[in-house]
Structure 1
Amino acid sequence: MGDLGEDWGRQTTVSELPPLAEIQHWTGVVGQAQQMIMEHLVHAMPDAGSLPLPDMQFPDMGAIMGDTTRLVDLQSDAVGDALGLWTALMKGDVEALKAADRDRRFNAEAWRQTPIFDVIRQAYLLLCEHFMRAVDAIDGVEPEVRNKIRFAMRTVTEAMSPANFPLTNPQVLERIFETRGQNLLRGLEHMLADITKGQLTQVRQGAFELGRNIAATPGKVIHETPLYQLIHYAPTTETVFETPLLIFPAWINRFYILDLNQRNSFVRWAVDQGISVFLVSWKSADESIAGIGMDDYVIGGQIDAIDAVRKATGAESVHTIGYCVAGSVLAMTLAYLAAKGEAGKVASATFFTAQVDFEEAGELKHLLSDELMAMLPMLTGDKGVLDGRFLAASFNLLRARDLIWNYVVQNYLLGEDYPEFDLLHWNNDTTNLPGEWHRDYIQALYRDNRLVQPGALSIAGVPIDLTKILTPAYIQAGREDHIAPAPSVWRIMDHFRGDRRFVLAGSGHVAGVVNPPAAKKYQYWTNPAADSFADFVANAVETPGSWWSDWIGWIADRSGPKVPAKGKRVPGKGPLKAIEDAPGRYVRMR
């Protein structure tokens, strides 16, 4: 890149024009690109599953202009910082420039080899900083509105990154010259394919196969309803705990986030600890279940599965796990059972990054505006089903730098081959949602926060009151979780009344959960004496490694004696016979 940068300011004479062969080559590249685009427009676009994107209607940024004195101060600061940046660049002041070196978008040495690109990245980060200062300088707005503006501004500035454009990204320019433009053609091919399917591709297609190298823990489907399949996993130990475990994954994604591969499968690890493990595989919504709502997920989903596991094993009660939204609904289930006098069906409840109190539910609330609510009928269409690609795009937007723009650069500009990464495969494997349930969930929980208001919600006519829940609860949160922020997850502690244990895990919404002990990654914090999240953080004890080791001790104390792993404890050998091999049909439905 150094030679290229030095040549940039030099005048080019007629005698220095590229030879005819070079002109023909690049003309051919452009022509091939045009041909690809035309073929796509003719053949692909009529079948493309285009997705409408919501107009989030962020507040008018013109509010910044209201205070001219503040505006002058901001402009003065910007000029001063710009002069400081230029001085630092001229002096080679490494300490002053280290902020940009910490930004992963500019890690490559090519950003430093040529001064012009160093200036570009430094100036961009300076501009972002001043945009955020301008947001903070707005007077007379509520904190929620300010946070919404900050989110909008961050979204815009991340899209403006010089890394996202070929002429301001030295890595892309290098690749263009190295491959003689073939990277752009490969990238264009990737982009047109993504437009056709209406979703950003993050992993090589065909790299993973359900039942072979993902979702491969042996088991049988032993129960099936129009809403879900129940999987019973084969034991690997001679004895198992008397109390079985039933896992409710979120139906926003596929269940196998907890069974990616044998090294990081929570399901396989739990089986190896001597637990009889059952798991619900939710059906991706189609027109046949478009009209189901909260009552169906509580009674026809979770309670039906609890009763099925009790019937299959003969156990009086079951341990339960609810991941994310399934944890929110598990809280409804526990409250419903308590109100009906049937709380004894559940021995314990574990919550993976789940929320019941949505007052501080994080950045996802920025996407749940009244404008979006008005658009839901259009998004669900005549079939009443919300396309999973819309949800995937919404969640990706929360971490656009890593989950959108990173792949724009890698896939479209650099023309890289797609990686083989099971977690990314799962992230791309979207599920559709019943439109009625999705609307109720957004309105009742995220917008109106009715779950924590005793009696404000009812299931099949039974008022829900979380303060009546006495079931022992293990509550796990991720320190860096951007979907279910740890302070929000903590609030389960404030509403439940039974034995409760809160554990804060390193990392976020997925990696904070899927962290097997053998990996020896991250850490977790405990503080049984805390009475608030602030107190928990201030006095928590850090333990290296996975919180799974803490959880298994907590579960073992509540699981009764060991019983032989035979008869009813073998999938399909009890009252509920095997329907098919795990992972079953439902996880394959699109």
Structure 2
Amino acid sequence: MTTDDTDTPVDPSKLEENLAQIEALSQRLVSALSHQRQVAPSLQGPSPELYAKAASAYWQEMMSNPSKIFEQQVSYWGKTLKHYIDSQQQLAHGKLQPPADESGTDPRFSSPLWQSNPYFNYIKQQYLFSSQAIGNAVQGLEGMEPDDKKRLEYFSKQIVDLMAPTNFLATNPEALERAVETDGQSLVDGLENLVKDLEDHQGDFVVNLADKKAFQVGGNIGTTEGEVVYRNRMFELIQYAPATDEQYKTPLIIFPPWINKFYILDLKPQNSLIKWITEQGYTLFVVSWVNPDAGYADVGMEDYIEEGYLTALEQVKEITGEKKVNVIGYCIAGTTLALTLSLLKQRGDKSVKSATFFTTLTDFSDRGEVGVFLTDDFVDGIEAEVTEKGYLDSFYMSRTFSFLRSNDLIYRPAIRSYMMGESPPAFDLLFWNGDSTNLPARMSVEYLRHLCQNDELARGEIELCGTRLALADVEVPVCAIACETDHIAAWKSSYRGVQQMGSADKTFILSESGHIAGIVNPPSKKKYGHYTNEDMQAAPEAWQEAATFNEGSWWPRWEEWLRPRSGKKVPARQPGDSTHPSLAKAPGTYVVEIK
């Protein structure tokens, strides 16, 4: 890999020893793979119908506009042939260096060897030429429905990314160089990491993104002081200890998504939104959802509303003696919060004073990148899976979200762990990312069919709890925070949903970054900024174009919005009361249950 003659020579005995270890590890590998779950083809990729449509469109274009196809092919052939000739000429003139490289920057090819080594540079450039040709061919296809075209582009890119030379040992110079430097020890360590990951996940290929031994929920993450003051089959209610002598009169409840665990909002003290809210003087309650198993098969959206949201509201009112509360809903919990607010309006219940939505979709007319997984071929597969098992295993949701950022969450970590032999980092956010939850069977299907696919909430057609619910019924003051590069809840769709709410008091904040980093963005980091614009009548693009960009976190701006809606100051409240004794210390028991 290098021309440095002073490099330490390979130790044959050490190399032989490592090769023997690889053989032993290979037996463990085979054993681990024998336990791999059988995943239905419908959950492995899009149905063959998508590729049939693509082939039909391609051949139709070939017949009707052959010059376009030939032009694309000739362009690709010309680039690859010219690059081959340039490379040969360099060698013919005795130059062990690659020809001019105008491929630009790509994080996958950050090693200097991709630039300086003729062999690896040739592989890289040819791969990028091919990637561009495939991308151009797919983008240029006509005669396909927009949704089908979008899915074809996405899954084609997944295949192209999978085939990157960085993902294979023989064509990854960094991995080969490390193997030589360590006499093969890096490959032994990498195989050990691979086998361990397979054993940890019952034979499923899931890369451990973080060192699991580095964190303990309630030990060094999720440590903000509080008490579980109520518990039912759906959730534990945590009331956090006051951090100030006085607190605002109106309590605040956070409803986190039950797709993940709530402690994303309470990682380390320095980036904990929960801790920061208590320090601003609020009486804070957080719902910690149960991690369901097959016993929750019949639990649906109505149960989350009645036994979750409405019960939590009543318990908080009882504990604090207040008639009104402020609420926050994050992601799917924000979607369900909108349903709950509509139901409360229909019932004449004025328990909620204001509502905040974090990265929430209520208008699913444009489902963003995640929409490629929300068509019938996948949803039919999910419905069949949950009908058989009684719940949707966390494996499927985790894998789906990982593929939205496959280079960052699958291939790059796999390269570091399996080829380079590196241990997973002690990174709290990635630890949380791997600590996923299951979803009840009925709820999964209802959410996917009625909300994601049929967009029934935005259309005012969804019926839950015996009532037809609609966004127009959300009339309380609303503040919504969306994230600019969110792969899960596209900000423009979030904005359109807020536009349709019936509230006369709406605030929309667009944070930089994505679904998690844009929300978990403490002021002390001075990292991501945010956009504001009081005009909610404009289209999303026009709203952003006319918006003011503000440096730093949105947290203080949101707190300024919440403060006048939180009443006067009262003496700080301690968790619970005589009828709500402490059932456990925060973060509670549900968040650490393994199912």
TM-score past 0.5 threshold: yes
Report what 1:585 is aligned to: 589
Contact 1:327/1:354 (<8 A) preserved:
yes
Letter in 2 for 1:125: L
| Distance in 2 of aligned mates of 1:474 and 1:586 | 29
Quote the residue 1:3 is aligned against: 3
1:254-312 Cα offsets, whole Å, 9 max, x none, are: 10010011010000000000011100000111122221001001111111111111111
Stretch of structure 1 that moved more, 295-304 or 377-386 = 377-386
Residue 81 of structure 1: aligned partner: 79
2:181 to 169, 178, 182: 178
Residues 98 and 115 of structure 2 are in contact (CA less than 8 Å); yes or no, is this contact kept in structure 1? no
Tell me which amino acid in the other structure corresponds to 1:64: Y
Which residue does 2:496 correspond to in 1?
Answer: 491
Distance 1:88 1:465, change over 3 A: farther
SS of equivalent residue, structure 2 residue 480: strand
In 2, Cα distance between equivalents of 1:552 and 1:518:
15
Assess, with a 3 A threshold, how the Cα gap between structure 1 residues 124 and 40 changes in structure 2: closer, same or farther.
closer
The Cα shift of 1:83 comes to 5.3
Task: Find the partner of 2:369 among 363, 368, 375.
Answer: 363
Which position in structure 1 is the counterpart of 2:541?
A: 534
Aligned-pair CA distance for 1:353: 0.5
Structure 2 match to 1:10 = none
The answer to whether the 8 A contact 1:377-1:384 is kept is: no
Alpha-carbon distance, 1:51 to partner: 4.8
Aligned residue number for residue 55 of structure 1? 45
The residue identity in structure 2 corresponding to 1:59 is Y
Shift of 1:377: 4.7
**CA distance in 2: counterparts of 1:45 and 1:195, whole angstroms:** 7
- 5 Å matches for 1:190-205? 190-196=193-199, 197=201, 198=204, 199-205=206-212
60-69 vs 48-57, greater mean Cα deviation: 48-57
> Aligned partner of 2:446: which letter?
D
Cα deviation code 1:104-134 (max 9, x no counterpart): 1111222223122122222222221111110
1:258 to 261, 265, 274: 265
Note if 1:125 corresponds to 2:153.
Answer: no
Tell me the amino acid that sits aligned with residue 583 of structure 1: P
Match of 1:243 among 236, 242, 250: 250
Q: Deviations over 1:227-260 (max 9, x none)?
A: 1100000001011111111001111111001001
Q: In 2, Cα distance between the equivalents of 1:255 and 1:168?
A: 41
Q: How much does 1:469 deviate?
A: 1.5
Which residue pairs with 1:518 in the alignment? 524
- 2:24 counterpart (13, 29, 35): 35
Q: Which 10-residue stretch deviates more, 572-581 or 219-228?
A: 572-581
Cα 1:84/1:490, change in 2 over 3 Å:
farther
Q: Which shows bigger deviation, 58-67 or 105-114? A: 58-67
Q: Assess if the C-alpha contact under 8 Å between 2:98 and 2:116 holds in 1.
A: no
Contact kept? 2:361, 2:489, Cα under 8 Å = yes
Change (3 A) 1:94 1:528: farther
Match of 2:353 in 1: 347
Letter in 1 for 2:576: G
RMSD of aligned Cα (Å): 2.3
Unaligned runs of 5+ in 2: none
Q: 1:100–1:106: 8 Å Cα contact kept in structure 2?
A: no
The answer (yes or no) to whether the contact 2:482–2:511 under 8 Å persists in 1 is yes
Aligned residue in 1 for 2:58: 64
- In structure 2, how many angstroms separate the alpha carbons of the residues matched to 1:261 and 1:519? 13
CA contact (8 A) 1:54 1:375 kept: no
* CA deviation after TM superposition for structure 1 residue 490, in Å: 0.4
C-alpha separation between the residues in 1 aligned to 2:303 and 2:144? 40
Aligned partner of 1:397 in structure 2 is 403
Q: Which residue of 1 aligns with 2:484?
A: 479
When residues 219 and 134 of structure 1 are mapped into structure 2, their CA distance, relative to the original with a 3 A threshold, is same
Deviation at residue 191 of structure 1 after TM alignment: 1.3
Contact 1:221 1:582 in 2 (8 A): yes
> Following the alignment from structure 1 to structure 2, what is the Cα–Cα distance between the partners of residues 503 and 418?
35
- For residues 51 and 141 of structure 1, the distance between their equivalents in structure 2, rounded to whole angstroms, comes to 29
What amino acid is the match of 1:128? S
1:190, distance to aligned residue in structure 2 (A): 1.4
Offset at 1:146? Answer: 0.8
1:506 and 2:500 correspond: no
Query: Which of residues 146, 149, 153 is equivalent to 1:150?
Result: 153
Letter in 2 for 1:394: T
Contact 1:346 1:471 in 2 (8 A): yes
> Which residue of structure 2 lines up, in the alignment, with residue 458 of structure 1?
463
Secondary structure of the structure 2 residue equivalent to 1:271: helix
Q: Secondary structure at the match of 1:451?
A: coil
1:165 aligns to what?
168
Deviates more, 1:412-421 or 1:365-374: 365-374
Aligned to 1:268: 275
1:537-548 → structure 2 map (5 Å cutoff): 537-548=544-555
Contact 2:255 2:328 in 1 (8 A): yes
CA drift at 1:30: 3.6
TM-score, normalisation: structure 2: 0.91
The answer on whether the counterparts of 1:283 and 1:587 sit within 8 Å (CA) in structure 2 is: yes
Seen in structure 2, the aligned counterparts of structure 1 residues 96 and 451 have a Cα distance that, compared at 3 Å, is farther
Asked whether the 8 Å contact 2:527–2:552 carries over to 1, the reply is yes
Change (3 A) 1:325 1:4: farther
Q: Is the 8 A contact 1:223 1:576 kept in 2?
A: yes
Q: SS of 1:223's equivalent? A: strand
In the TM superposition, residue 65 of structure 1 has moved relative to its aligned partner by 3.6
CA contact (8 A) 1:452 1:495 kept: yes
Q: CA deviation at 1:390?
A: 1.4
Contact 1:249 1:280 (C-alpha < 8 Å) held by counterparts:
yes
Give the deviation of 1:460 after TM superposition. Answer: 1.3
CA contact (8 A) 1:65 1:71 kept: no
1:220-235 paired onto structure 2 within 5 Å: 220-235=227-242
The CA deviation at 1:383 is: 4.0
CA distance in 2, matches of 1:572, 1:388: 32
After superposition, the C-alpha distances for 1:298-334 in whole angstroms (9 at most, x for unaligned) are 1111111111111111111111111111011001000
Q: What is the letter of the counterpart of residue 82 of structure 1?
A: T
- Tell me if structure 1 keeps the 8 A contact 2:224–2:240: yes
Relative distance call for 1:94 and 1:544 in structure 2 (3 A) is: farther
Shift of 1:361: 1.1
Structure 2 residue corresponding to 1:417, chosen from 392, 409, 423: 423
Q: Distance in 2 between matches of 1:360 and 1:96?
A: 42
The offset of 1:575, in angstroms, is: 3.9
Q: 1:412 to 1:221 in 2, by over 3 A?
A: same
In the alignment, the residues of structure 1 paired with residue 51 and residue 284 of structure 2 have an alpha-carbon distance, to the nearest angstrom, of 48
Post-superposition Cα deviations, 1:48-76, rounded to whole Å, max 9, x if no partner, equal 55655433123334232432322101101
* Match of residue 215 from structure 1: 222
Q: What amino acid is the match of 1:485?
A: A
* CA 495–377 in structure 1, closer or farther in 2 if over 3 Å, else same: closer
TM-fit CA distance, 1:88: 8.3
1:94 and 1:502 map into 2 onto residues whose CA distance is: 51
- Residue 290 (structure 1) aligns with: 297
Name the CA distance, whole Å, in 1 between partners of 2:28 and 2:81: 50
Answer yes or no: is 1:328 the counterpart of 2:335: yes
Opposite residue 408 of structure 1, the aligned amino acid is: A
User: Offset of 1:381 from its aligned partner?
Assistant: 6.2
Instruction: Work out the CA distance in 2 between the residues paired with 1:572 and 1:252.
Output: 27
- Asked if 1:312 corresponds to 2:319, the answer is yes
- CA gap 1:51/1:208 in 2 versus in 1, 3 angstroms: farther
Contact 1:466–1:495 (Cα < 8 Å) also in 2: yes
Q: Which amino acid is the alignment partner of residue 3 of structure 1?
A: T
Identity level (%): 34
